[in-house]
Structure 1
Amino acid sequence: MAEGFLQPDSQNERMEKRGYKYLKTLLQTSLLEEVKKEWKTSYKMHDLVHDFAKSILNRNSSNGDRYLAVETINEKKSESLRTLFLEGGIADDMLSKFKYLHVLKLFGADAKKLPNSIGKLIHLHLLDISGSRITTVPKSLCKLYSLQTLRINMLEEGLPKKMSNLISLRHLHYYDHAGRKIQMPSRIGRLTCLQTLEFFNIGHQEEGRGIQELGTLQDLKGTLEIRNLELVNGKDDAELANLSKKPNMYRLVFEWGNRDRKSDKCDEDVLEGLQPHPNLKELQILKFMGDQFPQWFMNLTLTSLVELRVEDCTRCRKLPALGQLPFLKCLYLTRLDNTTSIGLSFYSASAEEDGGSGGSDTISRQTFFPSLKILSLESMKILEEWKDAPEMMSNAGEVRVMDVFPVLEKLYISDCPKLTTIPTPSRFPSLDVLEIKWNCHVLVAEKVLSNITTLSSLYLRGGLQSIESLELVKRPESSLRIEGCDSLPTDMLERLCLFPILQDVRLFRCPNIITLRGMSCAACLESLAVHYCENLRELPDDLYQFQALRCLTVGDCPRINSFGYPNHNTGQKSLLKSLEMLLTYGCHELTTLPVEMFESCTSLRELNLYNWHSLVSFPLDLRRTPSLASFKLFDCPNLIAEMPSGFGYLTSLREVQIGPFTDDSVIKFDWAGLASSSTLRCVSLCGMPDMKSLPHQLQCLTTITSLSLGDFGAIEALPEWLGNFASLEDLILSGCPKLEYLPSMAAMERLKLRRLEIWFCPLLNRRCTPQSGSEWPKISDIPERKIDFRYF
């Protein structure tokens, strides 16, 4: 579907959305837990919830209530209660009565304090206060020796000092966007049953918050972020974390704090000591200030690694040898400020030593980056070259033929202004998506694109240097996006768009583009969007022959003076039979939109024209567009000549937005046709400054659900017949300076409004004040009211 186009959800889509809503609810209430394994996410029921559900099924009615989800507590509830979900606060003495609780969840804005009596719930296995506003917890929390799962928000004073007493704790979930400031509980290493610890902020060793606390947590699994690594003294201390002996960790994040770039903090030794288990799937290294990466990168320790992200490593000169990692699929390199070259060692530690080709009787084939599908280079400010691996290497009487990036699908290069040398295009046989943006040299695009024929998406954005020299071959892109490239030559589109199956073209802020006449992609183009091209004058000369075009957007192109005309002298007619959405705005030299282009638009569902100050005529017969569901024609103040007609023939029309009107256009508008629409649900009228009443034909629109009236300068009271709009749910009034009265109380009571908005209607605003407004009784029962009382 085209962007912005609305279509009723299919039954499957509705069921999918409903299922996702239920799943989200189950996660929020801790009835399900998210489990990430490799590249799959699954959901499981917590053991406690399972046991509880089983007991519910097996119990008889005489056992009393064991589960309760309420907004307020009833003191008479049974002491046998095992599970309590409570929205709101609870008194200290009341909580102590539920002494056999196994599961307690407090949530909602009114839940602000955890009672001290929490320590008496000695059978509690799961405590969840993550959805509350509780910011401090009592010391008695540390007496919950049976507690297995704790879900908690950021606390003002941190967790209690004796958290290490919770010897049964298995899962600690700490929800906080500013988690880097949290001080970890002292002696957390004593919690030897702990399986879930989403992050660990290193503190001072003498306070029991050093990295060695992780060493005894042998059962940790899933994901762990280790922060403040600048506080670790060296390799020996880092090894105390015993990460290499934690086989169930699938994701690790190593993060150092912000420091002076000149500081010497033995980061290389620390990272060497953090060697993970070979089962690791994802690794992030952030703000590492070593010159090079550790040996365990080089010796194929990370044999299971699938994703690697290296970011803000400002001293790094040499990238690790990653080319032989068998399962690496995603590699992100960002802000490596000291890296000038991606050398041969990037492919293999032995690549530079092996040298070039030579004679040999033995030939073998070696593949580098055999599984890599996504590669991103971002903000590599001084990166100048990305060396290619040699076609072949010889060593010890053996010649090895090199294959590089055999399955790479997506390549992103951003803000690498000095990079001009990259591998030959033949190294990317599977490349599908290419993005080059933000201050990159055009040679990068030129070299990557010179022989690649596999692209389905090309995105060029922002300040490509010397783009006039770009030479491209024909290729079957399905998506072309160019944004903010102010040095594009005038014939760039002719060179870029001669592709056999181009489907999507988007141009943003390209002031050098003057014409699109060179585009010859009528056969397959489905979407054409042109925004803010201030010097564009001409659309494609064969636009009317674009048989596959579904979405056409032309906006803020003030010099376009024509959408062209079908050439009737040659028998050429409009073939825009697939067009579903037309959006145009800000084309201030156009005085009319040719109705000939709509001759075959039987699929058009959305027609949107706005901010056309020069448009004076649009005599469209809507019978040519029988599928139209949304019609918007607004902010075209000079449209006083012929206007669209035939609304009564539209059997799918659901939304209309019209205005402003002049006296002539009010008279000429097809009000009768509009009023006869039985499918219309949303009507917005604006800009009738001299009208003292609403057009009387509108009283037939009794099935609409939303009505918006704006800039009616002379109207003083809404008509009584408005009360007949039994389906009306939303009423929006704005910019009506003389409006004082709503319909009568009886009429307003017949309306079942869900929402009322009143803006910039000073007289009516005054009458709608709760204290003494005469109109207030008419609206006091409306659930949603937005009334701006500033403008009396």
Structure 2
Amino acid sequence: MADALISSTIQVTLERALSLASDRIGLLVGFKKDVAGMTRSLRLINAVLANAEAKQNQDGAVQEWLKSLEEVAYEVDNLLDELHYESLHHQVESRNRHKLKVCCFFSFSNINLAFRWRMASKVRDIKLKLNEINQEANGLGLVSRLGMTAALPAAVGDTRSQQTDSVVAPMIGRTNDESKIVKMLLSPSEKVVSGLPITGMGGLGKTTLAKSIYNNQQIDEHFQKKIWVCVSKKVPVVELFKLMLVQLMKGKVEVDDRNVIVEHIQNQLGEKRYFLVLDDVWDDDQALWDDFFTTLKGLNPTNGSWCLVTTRLGPVAHSVSRVLRMMENEAYPLGKLPDDHCWSIIKEKVVGEGEEPDELKAIKERVIERCDGLPLAASVIGGLLSLKRKEEWRSILENRLLSMSGDGDRVMQILKFSFDNLPSQYIKKCFAHWSIFPKDSEKERNMLIELWMAEGFLQVDATSQMMMEEIGMNYLRILLQSSLLEEIIDKSETSISYKMHDLVHDLAESMSKSTKVIIDRDTYIVDNGDQIRYLAIDLSSGREDREKLLESQSMSLHTLFVNGDLSDDMLMKLKNLYVLFLSTETTQELPVSIGKLIHLRYVNLSKSSISILPDSLCKLYNLQTLALSGSQVKDLPKGMCDLISLRHLHYYNDDEEFQMPLEMGRLTCLQTLEFFNVGREKGRRIGELGSLKNLKGKLEIRNLQLVKGKEGAEEAKLSEKANLFRLELEWALDREGDDYNDEDVLDGLRPHPNLKELVI
């Protein structure tokens, strides 16, 4: 089967390479001619990609051509990024020598000779490969479509003016179902644990209904404990108990012994009546459910607890029913939505509270027929129509939606159609990228955007005024509008996260099977010969075999999630890594070899036990995001000011004696800085904030007693920082003397009118 996403991968990679080639590195002495020749070849290849994508399903030779091109595209990307890194390195060194002007090219004297020869050799090799690929394209009869790019079309911009923002629409059409089930759950029971499976095909809204019940006020008042567990795959019974304990403890659980886990659950539950939801269950093993519920009954003597199970599989419901000695009719089969409710979902997506346009009324009956009573299908079709012009609605319906087969999985066909109609290859890559996360994951908005940025999915158009983060926000809006993502706003409304319906996750996973592997504690399966780009691996068990796998894929990996310790030698081998998530509970020092990974753009050490960051970290001139939230890091490296590409520093230290690294003001790309401790010496004074013009979100400034007067405070230029929405200003409680000038300093710290919160 052809790789549905391969041309998107290639196009995104090639265009990133073209962007790099047109940057400073094209001016490097000794490389200009070679880079220009390579760029011409890239443009020619890029122009035939659309034709190759259309032919790959019918022509095996075209599939092989695309696979070969994908490998070379990654090589080109890495090569040009290495040259780009040298350009950044040169800027840092020039600046550190206090030159007034930074050269934008190298001379033969300041390029390392060995590096120059190595790069020249690589460029020649890749030029030969690209020439061969161009010749093969001609031989395969691939037709050029010049001018085709992955830039965001104007039509996409048009959709942003619609009222399609954030808030997830309330559940439509399931009020009666919810009332019936809640009444059942609140009824008196002489059983310790009763159970109710909600059954039905994918896309009916089982999880949505279960969530609405879970958050129902009557449920909150009746049950003293609530536990939500997303199962999503077949798991051993001990893992099921562990998932329960994680929810009860509201955090990670390290213990693996069943007796200890069950004892902890028992302590958490006490004699309280609880409500347990097992969502998206797939395992119909009668022995597993016998074991699970028998143990559950023995944990708590109090009658009246309930377990709600959602599943697509009848045999699962039957197994649960047998164990809990339920009657067969006690399972709750979820029916399809009435047509008028499906239409309400579509209308909400397309026009919101507005009137139905004639173009929408004209296709109403046929669109409802395509939904087939499935709320997910209605939401996806509504999202698809909302992204298209009214004039296109009829042709979309007649040419594609009506031609879909009634056989097979109707919802998956509609989801695939919605994916195919995403307005750019970059958005398709952002969508498929979600498959690296487990099902039912919730991911915070800024983290998603920063990851997409690190992967090169948020390329800035030369004519655009938007920053990469703004492009990421627009991509999120499009995926939300397409119903390919769901938005979750926490109760305090301070953070926004996203999740993906499990059917949509299945689609994302099918798009990237050849490029990723997930290896958890219990599975170790690599069933394809392709090079792996994304790897999530647990090194806390089966270490030797898993390290061998990691080493075998070390040169191809772009993104790595590691649970466990990563040695200095192993880290050094991951030369082409762009994203590193490292979660460790024993290692306290980040390996020094981190400084060798010159492509790194995203490093996340959040909640790890690492407390020491090596100075070599400051050689990562491409680094855009450094996430240290919840880690044990006490001090930042001295040379932080050399991280000239850094945009987001997620780090908080409440120690009043903490000293900021010198000359933070040189990090002119910085947008996220959670706090700034004013110091006495030059390079740590409040004026360092003055050049950080792009700061956004929240900022806490401490030790303001060290600022001398209004003029000193004005050096922070807070009045120019239009994207700060929360500002906290703090003076030390204990100070020497009584000659305070706090009011003058406060006057000089006058913020921009856009500020929403001020804490003094």
- Fold agreement, TM-score > 0.5: no
| TM-score under structure 2 length normalisation | 0.33
Of the two, which has the highest radius of gyration? 1
Q: Which has the higher contact order (CA 8 A, sep 6+)?
A: 2
1 or 2, which has the higher helix percentage?
2
